[in-house]
Amino acid sequence: MENTKHQLQVVYGDGSLGVLSDRVKYLFSYERGGLESLTIDGKEWLYRVPKPLFWRATTDNDRGNHFSEKSAMWLGADLFSACDEIAVAIDGQPIELPIAPVNNQYSNHETADSVAITFTYLTPTVPQTKVEINYQVTADGRLQLTANYHGQAGLPQLPAFGIKLVMPTPAVSFEYQGLSGETYPDRMDGANAGNYQTVGMPVTPYLVPQECGMHMQTDSLTVNRRSTLNNADADAQEFSLMINQNGNPFAFSCLPYTAEELENATHHEELPAKRRTVLSILGAVRGVGGIDSWGAEVEPQFQLAADQDYSVSVEIGPQV
């Protein structure tokens, strides 16, 4: 710890926890129940706090086999899971939640080698279950982001599980190391592993807007943007966020819409203007199926039972 340059500055605020490194600065909000701000070199990457992701826009096959009707509770969970508990650890040691008056003990020069903060969300399902989203910031300013779903018997199958990151402005492109094309657990034999770039955030033009753009088995992903919502930022240089796998490959989609926006549209022209980036980082994805579109189930090995645990973990930081 001699090299203080590589320590994190910690700001024990009254409503939030600031974790600041040279380039990357984090603001965890107790009020909003999650990471409210992630800036890299001053550019904001979050529009709203990341939330657990459960829903996918109903595919034609989902409609046919009534999956969405049976699993509709997860749509509510996707929209309305509430933060129930927040836990903070500094240098691996849990501390009492540093809100007033507990935070009166701190100063303007608090540092740490690592900061961990876990937000626990309860689902509005019957029965209820919980998801922890854990943020671990290391001295170099990088973030390990992990989400854990706790299996619960009595719940319907999950459409998907992961974390939804909504960014303030649209991505201009993304690059990833993973599989070619749009892939799902039951539709990835034909894909080739490699490095791929996608310009814009194409929404696959299925006749009725639906779940699309999934990329399975991803090792790394870079999202590139050019604009911010900051009125004082006139810079048009492209800037990037990099997401690496942390132990296991992850699945992702990078779209201009939430699952709910897609869900509501019966035609593409009904979708709103593309103004955000919705990055879904997933540890579990239901297959799309294909036997027929009026009742056939997705093959059992590609269904997501709700009584199993699921998790996803990635490392996030500036492009290296």
CA distance 67 to 60: 10
Peptide bond into 249 cis (omega under 30): no
Q: Which two tokens stand for residue 178?
A: 């993973």
H-type helices in the chain, by residue range?
60-64, 67-70, 73-80, 259-264
Amino acid at 284: A
Cβ distance to another protein smaller for residue 43 or 215: 215
Residue number with CB closer to another protein (80 or 294): 294
Select from 146, 136, 170, 174 the least CA-distant residue to 19.
136
How many other CB atoms sit within 10 Å of the CB of residue 7?
A: 16
DSSP 216-232: EEESEEEEEE---S-TT
Closer of 191 and 305 to another protein (Cβ): 191
Please state the closest distance from residue 171 (CB atom) to another protein, in A. Answer: 19
Options 9, 39, 103, 293; binder of another protein; rule CB under 8 A: 293
Residue 215 CB, nearest approach to another protein (Å): 10
Candidate list 40, 251, 288, 316; residue touching another protein; CB under 8 A: 288
Nearer to another protein, 6 or 268 (CB): 268
User: Which of the residues 176 through 195 are near another protein (CB under 8 A)?
Assistant: 180-191
**Which amino acid type is present at position 242?**
M
Token pair recorded at residue 167: 């960014």
Q: Which stretch binds another protein (CB under 8 A): 10-18, 37-45, 149-157, 297-305?
A: 297-305
Residue whose CB is less far from another protein, 47 or 206: 206
Please count the residues of the chain. Answer: 320
Binding segment for another protein (CB under 8 A), chosen from 82-90, 147-155, 203-211, 216-224, is 203-211
CB of 82 to another protein, least distance (A): 31
Cα distances from 242 to residues 85, 169, 266, 290, in angstroms, run 28, 16, 34, 34
Instruction: Please report, as a single letter, which amino acid is at residue 94.
Output: P
- State the Cα–Cα distance between residues 101 and 266, nearest whole angstrom: 51
Q: Which of 179, 166, 167, 163 is nearest to 313 (CA)?
A: 163
User: Alpha-carbon dihedral of residues 190, 193, 199, 203, nearest 10 degrees?
Assistant: 40
What is the contact mask toward another protein in residues 214 to 243, using x (rule: CB under 8 A)? ------------------------------
- Binding part of the chain for another protein, among 110-118, 139-147, 167-175, 296-304 by CB under 8 A, reads 296-304
Of these, 125, 134, 169, 210, which contacts another protein (CB under 8 A)? 210
Minimal distance in Å, beta carbon 282 to another protein? 15
Q: Pick from 6, 142, 268, 274: which binds another protein (CB under 8 A)?
A: 268
206 belongs to the binding site for another protein (CB under 8 A): yes
Q: Phi and psi at residue 201, in whole multiples of 5°?
A: -130, 75
For residue 276, the minimal CB distance to another protein (Å) is: 21
Least distance in angstroms from the C-beta of 199 to another protein: 16
**Least separation in angstroms between CB 284 and another protein:** 15
Q: Which of residues 47-66 bind another protein (CB under 8 A)?
A: 59-61, 64
User: Within a 10 A sphere around the Cβ of 205, how many other Cβ atoms?
Assistant: 8
Residues that bind another protein (CB under 8 A): 59-61, 64, 180-191, 204-208, 210-212, 267-269, 287-294, 296, 298-299, 302
